[in-house]
Structure 1
Amino acid sequence: MNSETIISKINNNESNNLTKTNKKTTMKKIIVFSVLSILLISCSGKNNEMPPAAPPTLPVLNIVKSDALTSTEFPVAIQGKADIEVRPQVNGTLEKIFVDEGAYVTKGQPLFKINDNAYRQQFNNAKASLRAAEASLINAQIEVDKLIPLVQNKMYSEYQLRTAKSNLSIAKSNVEQAKSVLNNAQINLDYTLIHAPINGFIGRLPRKQGSLVGPQDPEALTKLSDIKEVYAYFSLSENDFLNFKKQYEGSSIAQKIKKMPAVSLVLSDNTEYEHKGNVDMVDGQFDKTTGAITLRAKFPNNNGLLRSGNTGKVKINVNHANAIVVPQEATIEIQDKVYVFLLDNNNSVMRQPIIVSGKSGTNYLVEEGIKTGDRIVLKGFENLPDGAKIIPENTKKEVAKL
């Protein structure tokens, strides 16, 4: 082996040793760099963590007792003070109709005329029969007057006088009977002209001129409504009626009715009738099929805006003394239950169910669930979990009243 070959091998060995040394150094640098990077990232992450959020500041309402006014609505059927069916009292052909549908008529005004030819003939016959009976009576009286002195002078027997007096009694009875027949004929004749029994408005006229009418017809000639005052009939369940009796003072139903405040009438378009009414009647018994009892409220109607057959609702206001009232906006409804968010002494919230006994405008009357001195979150509670803390912001918000 020559010297050049030996030198070349030495140089190659040295080069390999240097390469290995460089690789080890590089690996050490990479490991150190990685460790430093991890430490830096870790430190950077700790420095960038968000601080815990501060509890929200929300308005809080202190629960106190107050007076409240609630209203309850009941469906009503409206009728005139008098709703009368006008029916014929005799059979015959409807000859004339003097009024039109919807017309206002006064008591005694002619409405319909039934052909009276047959009834006038009956009247004339009865009148003639009465005259004949009266003539027979005169003859019977003359016979008695003639026999009295003759019997006294014993020219005729007592038996003949008694017979004459008996005939006189029969003649008197015949006159009375003829008068009765004449009066009956007069009544039937008068029935052919049908008059308005009261003041009021004419309803529909289903029968037209020329129709055959009679007392047994299933449908009336018309209906006549006196609507200067109207009656609104509504029903109370047994529980509502018991509450009604508890609400008002008095030893009798009549006395309790007098203590009731005026009631309002809400029409079918949800507008309120301009005049207030008063409950003036309670039915004598419950309906066996519905378990309800009927009450009647009376409303003035001088301008005729209401008519028989109108529908609506009667609104009855009830005063509640020392009631717990919360705004509806401070509640949430979940699965037919109403909740409020109640605060404890540590200002932690808890969802609390309440029992609502009624409404007063935009407020709830609370029967159970919260008490005087409790605090509830007024708004902003939608996303609060149970146990969440808040910073209470006391509010002087007054619960709205009707």
Structure 2
Amino acid sequence: MKKTYFLPVAVMALGLATVFVSGCKKSAASGAAAPTVVNAVEVVQQDLPWDIEYPAQVAGSLEIQIRAQVGGILEARLYNEGEYVNEGKQLFQIDDKQYKVALEKAQGALAQAQAEERRTQRTYARMKKLRADNAVSQQDYDNAISAYDTAKANVQVAQAGVNDAQINLGYTKVTAPISGIAGKEAQSVGSLISAAGESGLLTTMVQIDPLYVNFSMPSRQFEKLAAGFMSGQIVLGSDDKQLLKPEEYRKLTASQAPVYVEAVLPNGSLYSEKGKIVFFDSSENTQTSSLAIKAEFANPKKSRALMPGQFVRVRLVGAIYKNAILIPSSAVLNSAQGKIAYVIDGNNMIVARPIQAEMQDDMYIVSDGLKAGEKVVSDGLIRLRPGMEVTAKMQTFMPKAEETAAPAATEGDVAKLEEAIESAESPDEQALPQDAAQAKEAAAADNAQTGK
């Protein structure tokens, strides 16, 4: 009996095991075939401004040292340190006593020379008549001519001495050679200064209208800009290439220029005036692999929103990428082989596509490797592999339009501060006690005469 039931039971058990294993395999196969859901965007093609910012530093269009040209005791400082002064305003007064005496001596020497000239002229006139009558020898006549010529030359020498003394006396009034901001005094009132050496430096001045902003463009970007312009991929502000010739561009104001520069202040606002490029370096800086560029900004209100030495950022405005191919920065994987984008093909499979691209803001401008309308994975690239089947969840990719920032919010406050400074009654002028009144009277008379 036992042998009779063993075979059917064994067959039944084997059949159940086969069904169970088959069901497990089908379940596993069904789980592996589910495609991965990924975020994706379409590659966009549109015109895009060259919107790259560069660090820059502001400089005055003129930055000069004010030095004494004669020596002596510094009697007075006649300006407020840090204020805006007009060309011709007296800044310092140097003790002029010895130079007045020198001028008087020179004038006396000139008077003597003129008297001698008149005497020799009369002698020459008499000798000329006597010589006509053979009343004097030729030698005496020649001596009279020589004496007269010498006297005339001595008058010229004496006149030069007077001019030199007048110049030296004038140098005791140190005036502003330009209009601009006068800096901190380098020598205090009462100091003995000399025309030679460090003691001759009295202060510095900087001209703030116009202002220069110096920045550097990486050579690689400059090459791309130049190559794009030559190929037509990049348009520089105007279809009229005549305006981009140096001789024509220099004639234009910043508002007329097809390509101009904007200065972004530290608070993120824009400086109110546009800048015009006035200088491109002729050679590359081998240490930084960049080209030095200088832009000129008008400052008609003498505002201090931009100050020499200040660090700002600048934008080149007017360069446009035509039909640029754009993808978000998150859609690019940087690998040892270069930049890669994961393209989703018609079968919803991932294809690794090498690309050539430059980053601007939060997106890449693709020069090779992608076409408009293709679908690329927009994030999470690190967890994906080529050949994977995916389900694309399409996202909206909107490249940034050109932004226009508001004028600097601080300019009004700066203007008020400047007005308060300029209306002050020179509270920090300095002078030696015995010379204060005299120095102020001299400065007032000088300003009235020059109309400054």
Could you tell me the TM-score, scaled by structure 2's length? 0.72
Q: 1:131-159 CA distances to partner (integer Å, 9 max, x unpaired)? A: 11011011101111222222222222233
**Aligned equivalents of 1:91 and 1:268: distance in 2?**
44
Find the partner of 1:299 among 297, 300, 314. Answer: 297
What is residue 231 of structure 1 aligned with on the other side? 212
What is residue 350 of structure 2 aligned with on the other side? 349
**Aligned equivalents of 2:298 and 2:173: distance in 1?**
33
Tell me by how many angstroms 1:109 deviates.
Answer: 1.0
**Aligned equivalents of 1:269 and 1:119: distance in 2?**
53
Q: Is the 8 A contact 1:68 1:325 kept in 2?
A: no
Q: 1:174-214 CA distances to partner (integer Å, 9 max, x unpaired)? A: 00000001100110111011011121111121211122223
Residue 185 to residue 167, structure 1, CA distance change in 2 (3 Å): same
**Aligned equivalents of 2:354 and 2:226: distance in 1?**
30
Tell me by how many angstroms 1:169 deviates.
Answer: 0.6
Alignment of 1:1-400 (within 5 A): 39=16, 43=20, 46=23, 49=27, 51-52=30-31, 54-218=34-198, 220-246=201-227, 247=229, 248=236, 249=241, 252-255=245-248, 260-268=258-266, 270-283=268-281, 292-301=290-299, 302=301, 303-317=303-317, 318-334=319-335, 337-359=338-360, 361-379=361-379, 383-393=383-393, 397-400=397-400
Using the TM superposition, name which of 207-216 and 380-389 deviates more.
380-389
Aligned residue for 1:221, secondary structure, equals strand
Residue 97 to residue 236, structure 1, CA distance change in 2 (3 Å): same
Q: Is the 8 A contact 2:329 2:359 kept in 1?
A: no
**Aligned equivalents of 1:291 and 1:393: distance in 2?**
43
**Aligned equivalents of 1:388 and 1:290: distance in 2?**
43
Tell me by how many angstroms 1:163 deviates.
Answer: 1.3
Residue 236 to residue 362, structure 1, CA distance change in 2 (3 Å): closer
Residue 224 to residue 169, structure 1, CA distance change in 2 (3 Å): same
Q: 1:349-373 CA distances to partner (integer Å, 9 max, x unpaired)? A: 13334332231x4321012332345
Q: Is the 8 A contact 1:245 1:256 kept in 2?
A: no
What is residue 3 of structure 1 aligned with on the other side? none
**Aligned equivalents of 2:289 and 2:340: distance in 1?**
33
**Aligned equivalents of 2:52 and 2:337: distance in 1?**
20
Tell me by how many angstroms 1:253 deviates.
Answer: 4.0
**Aligned equivalents of 2:112 and 2:88: distance in 1?**
35
Aligned residue for 1:306, secondary structure, equals coil
Using the TM superposition, name which of 85-94 and 58-67 deviates more.
58-67
Gaps of 5+ in 2: 230-235, 403-452
**Aligned equivalents of 2:73 and 2:343: distance in 1?**
79
Using the TM superposition, name which of 292-301 and 122-131 deviates more.
292-301
Q: Is the 8 A contact 2:325 2:372 kept in 1?
A: yes
Gaps of 5+ in 1: 1-20
Q: 1:308-359 CA distances to partner (integer Å, 9 max, x unpaired)? A: 1112232224311122111223334456954322112211113334332231
**Aligned equivalents of 2:258 and 2:359: distance in 1?**
19
Q: Is the 8 A contact 1:340 1:354 kept in 2?
A: yes
Using the TM superposition, name which of 201-210 and 384-393 deviates more.
384-393
Using the TM superposition, name which of 85-94 and 388-397 deviates more.
388-397
Q: Is the 8 A contact 1:328 1:364 kept in 2?
A: yes
**Aligned equivalents of 1:245 and 1:392: distance in 2?**
39
**Aligned equivalents of 1:337 and 1:268: distance in 2?**
35
Percent sequence identity is 26
Using the TM superposition, name which of 339-348 and 370-379 deviates more.
370-379
Tell me by how many angstroms 1:91 deviates.
Answer: 1.8
**Aligned equivalents of 1:293 and 1:215: distance in 2?**
39
Residue 256 to residue 386, structure 1, CA distance change in 2 (3 Å): farther
Residue 319 to residue 352, structure 1, CA distance change in 2 (3 Å): same
Q: Is the 8 A contact 1:130 1:175 kept in 2?
A: yes
Q: Is the 8 A contact 1:102 1:202 kept in 2?
A: yes
Larger Rg: 1
Name the amino acid aligned to 1:87: R
Aligned residue for 2:211, secondary structure, equals strand
RMSD (Å), alpha carbons: 3.4
Count of residue pairs the alignment pairs up: 375
Name the amino acid aligned to 2:62: A
Tell me by how many angstroms 1:382 deviates.
Answer: 5.3
Tell me by how many angstroms 1:278 deviates.
Answer: 1.5
**Aligned equivalents of 2:114 and 2:162: distance in 1?**
13
**Aligned equivalents of 2:380 and 2:223: distance in 1?**
40
Could you tell me the TM-score, scaled by structure 1's length? 0.80
Q: Is the 8 A contact 2:42 2:397 kept in 1?
A: no
